[in-house]
C-alpha cells in the first residue's frame, strides 16, 4: 500500500498491509489490567467558590510584570493527579514572583462523579472536553456539560501567555510532554525539560485539544501551550512527576526562583509521523506494548486490525501512548521518530 505524503499524519495507510502469508494467528484480546489506585481524589471544596468570577478558577498576581501562566487540571474528570498538585500549590500559598498565575480545575462535574469502583467512567459526562477547542465549536448553538464549562473558562484561556494542561495515562507509558504542532510549543516543552521526552504531534481527528486552540496553534502567535502526560492515572509517582514539571515550568517563566532548579535533563524530541486508527472492532496488538517503547526493526508486526497488519514504517520507531483496547474509529497508537533538538 502507498505511503502517506501529507505533512499532517492521517490514518497511516503506509503502516497497513495485507499479509502475504499468515505469519501469526490473530492474538487473543489483552486482558484488562487491574488499575492500581494509590491516590485518592483531593478535596477541592476550598477552591470551588467564586474566587474570580468563575468557580474552580483561582488567580494570583504579582506586583512585578511578567507572563500570564495558566495551569489546567481535570480536563478529564478521572485524571486528578494534576488537581492534587494544583491543590498543593494553593495550600502552600505559592505566589508568583512576577506576572500572573491562574489555576483551573476544568471538568468539575465529571470529577464529582469519580468512583473507585469504576474509575474510567468519569473521564467526561457528555463529550470529551479535550476535543472542543476551536472557535467554531465554542461559538456554536449546541450545549453539553463539557462544552458549557469550556465556554465558562474561555476568558482565562484567552488571556494566557503560557499554558500547561495536566493529564495522565490509562495504559502504562513513559511520562512525556506533548508539544502540539507548533514551534512555540516545542520550544516551551524543551525549555521545561521535565520530563525530558518531548513529542510533537497534530492532535486527534475527533477534535481539537486545548493546546490546539487557535491562540496557541497559530504559527504567528506569540503564545505557547503544552500538554503533560505524567504517567498512570492513579499512581503516586504520577503526582510527583506532575509536581516536578509544574515547578519547572514556573521557574522557566520566572514565577518561581530559578535557584531551586535541579540539574536539567537532556531532552529527546520526537515527531509523530503516523496515526494508527482502529478500522475494525477486532484491532489487537500482538502484545501489550508500553508507551515510549522503541521498536528497533522496520517492518515489525505491531497489531492486526481485521485482515490488516500494522507494522513499523522505519527503524527505531517509538510507540506513543498505545491504547490497548481501542474501539473502532479510536486512535490505537501514534508512531514517532527522533529528530534533532533545535535551539
Spell out the domain ranges in the chain: 51-253, 271-338
Q: Any idea which fold 51-253 has?
A: Aminopeptidase (3.40.630)
* Cβ neighbourhood burial of 40 (10 Å; 0-12, 13-18, 19+): exposed
Distance from C-alpha of 261 to C-alpha of 241, rounded to nearest angstrom: 14
Structural contact between residues 238 and 41, judged by C-beta atoms closer than 8 angstroms:
no
Per-residue 3-state assignment (H helix, E strand, C coil) for the chain: CCCCCCCCCCCCHHHEECCCCCCCCCCCCCCCCCCCCCCCCCCCHHHCCCCCCCCCEEEEECCCCCCEEEEEECCCCCCCHHHHHHHHHHHCCCCCCCCEEEEEECCHHHHHCCCCCCCCCCCCCCCCHHHCCCHHHHCCCCCCHHHHHHHHHHHHHCCCCEEEEEEEECCCECCEEEEECCHHHHHHHHHHCCCCEEEECCCECCECCHHHCHHHHCCCCCCEEEEEEEEECCCHHHHHHHHHHHHHHHHHCCCCCHHHCCCCCCCEEEEEEEEEECCCCCCEECCCCCECCEECCCCCEEEEECCEEEECCCCCEEEECCCCCCCCCCEEEEEEEEECCCC
Strand-strand pairing, 16-17 and 100-105 = unpaired
Q: Could you name the CATH architecture of 271-338?
A: Beta Barrel (2.40)
Q: For residue 245, which phi and psi values (nearest 5 degrees)?
A: -65, -40
64-102 core/surface letters (b: 16 or more CB in 10 A; e: else) = eebbbbbbbbbbbbbbbbbbbbbbebbeeebebbbbbbb
d(CA 20, CA 245): 47
Which of 181, 151, 149, 177 lies closest to 164, judged by CA? 177
What does the pLDDT read at residue 35?
84
pLDDT at 9: 64
Strand partners, 333: 276
Cα separation, 110 vs 74, whole angstroms: 8
Asked if 51-253 and 271-338 have one fold, the answer is: no
What's residue 11's pLDDT?
64
Residue 41 to residue 112: CA distance in whole angstroms:
9
The three cell numbers locating residue 217: 496553534
One digit per residue, the tens of pLDDT, for the chain of length 343 reads 333 333 456 667 678 877 654 445 555 555 556 788 999 999 999 999 867 889 999 999 999 999 999 999 999 999 999 999 999 999 999 999 999 999 999 999 999 999 999 999 999 999 999 999 999 999 999 999 999 999 999 999 999 999 999 999 999 899 999 999 999 999 999 999 999 999 999 988 889 999 999 999 999 999 999 999 999 999 999 999 999 999 999 999 999 998 766 666 789 999 999 999 999 999 999 999 999 999 999 999 999 999 999 999 999 999 999 999 998 888 999 999 999 877 6
Asked if the bond preceding 81 is cis, omega within 30° of 0, the reply is no
Amino acid at each position: 500500500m502507498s505511503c502517506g505524503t501529507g505533512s499532517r499524519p492521517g490514518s497511516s495507510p503506509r503502516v497497513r498491509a495485507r499479509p502475504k502469508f499468515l505469519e501469526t494467528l490473530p492474538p487473543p484480546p489483552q486482558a484488562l489490567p487491574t488499575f492500581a489506585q494509590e491516590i485518592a481524589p483531593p478535596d477541592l471544596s476550598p477552591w470551588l467558590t467564586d474566587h474570580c468570577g468563575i468557580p474552580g478558577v483561582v488567580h494570583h498576581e504579582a506586583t512585578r510584570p511578567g507572563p500570564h501562566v495558566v495551569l489546567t487540571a481535570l480536563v478529564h474528570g478521572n485524571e486528578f493527579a494534576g488537581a492534587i498538585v494544583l491543590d498543593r500549590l494553593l495550600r502552600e500559598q505559592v505566589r508568583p514572583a512576577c506576572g500572573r498565575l491562574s489555576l483551573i480545575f476544568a471538568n468539575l462535574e465529571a470529577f464529582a462523579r469519580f468512583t473507585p469502583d469504576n474509575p474510567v467512567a468519569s473521564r467526561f459526562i457528555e463529550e470529551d472536553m479535550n476535543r472542543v477547542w476551536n472557535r467554531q465549536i465554542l461559538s456554536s448553538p449546541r450545549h453539553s456539560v463539557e462544552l458549557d464549562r469550556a465556554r465558562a473558562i474561555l476568558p482565562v484561556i484567552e488571556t494566557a501567555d503560557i499554558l500547561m494542561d495536566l493529564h495522565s495515562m490509562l495504559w502504562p507509558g513513559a511520562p512525556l510532554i506533548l508539544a502540539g504542532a507548533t514551534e512555540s510549543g516545542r520550544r516551551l516543552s524543551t525549555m521545561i525539560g521535565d520530563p525530558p521526552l518531548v513529542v510533537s504531534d497534530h492532535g486527534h481527528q475527533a477534535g481539537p485539544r486545548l493546546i490546539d486552540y487557535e491562540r496557541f496553534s497559530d504559527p504567528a502567535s506569540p503564545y505557547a501551550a503544552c500538554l503533560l502526560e505524567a504517567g498512570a492515572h492513579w499512581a503516586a509517582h504520577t503526582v510527583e512527576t506532575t509536581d516536578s514539571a509544574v515547578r519547572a515550568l514556573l521557574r522557566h517563566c520566572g514565577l518561581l526562583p530559578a535557584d531551586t532548579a535541579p540539574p536539567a535533563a537532556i531532552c529527546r524530541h520526537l515527531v509523530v509521523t503516523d496515526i494508527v486508527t482502529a478500522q475494525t472492532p477486532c484491532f489487537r496488538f500482538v502484545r501489550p506494548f508500553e508507551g515510549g517503547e522503541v521498536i528497533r526493526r522496520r517492518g515489525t508486526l505491531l497489531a492486526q486490525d481485521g485482515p490488516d497488519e500494522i507494522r513499523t514504517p522505519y527503524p527505531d520507531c517509538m510507540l506513543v501512548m498505545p491504547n490497548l483496547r481501542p474501539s473502532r474509529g479510536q486512535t490505537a497508537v501514534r508512531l514517532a521518530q527522533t529528530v534533532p533538538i533545535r535551539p
